[in-house]
Amino acid sequence: QVRLVESGGGAVQAGGSLRLSCVASARTGYMAWFRQAPGKEREGVASIYTSDSDAYYADSVKGRFAISLDEAKITLYLQMNNLKPEDTGMYYCAARERPYTSFSRVSRLQEDWYSDWGQGTEVTVSS
């Protein structure tokens, strides 16, 4: 099991930026960011394959968010630009080993595909 610790959340105004960080205790196959708004289900935001940094984004954040990985530090980042009030929520880091069976690309943003989770960092965007 991989231990994940997020940081970097905070309160910003609409149009602002934040960068979230997630430090992992060990290297893994896929890592991702999820978020959960109050009263809503957790949703996938962005995913990255650690071997080649292939990224996959939810439509709602394409062009505004960027996921990246510092392999030496085993740290995952989420750069969030042009933030909107609807981006408000708790942001979670997730990870899993590389699967050895075929899978659909959309699986990378599905909550039950990941085995390891952080405690979350809160993001609040005001209008």
Per residue in 60-107, pLDDT tens? 999 999 999 998 889 999 999 999 999 999 999 999 998 888 888 899
39 Cβ partners below 8 Å, 6+ apart? Answer: none
State pLDDT tens for residues 43-61: 999 999 999 999 999 999 9
Is residue 105 classed exposed, middle or buried when 0-12, 13-18 and 19+ CB atoms within 10 A define those classes? exposed
Residue labelled with tokens 């149009």: 15
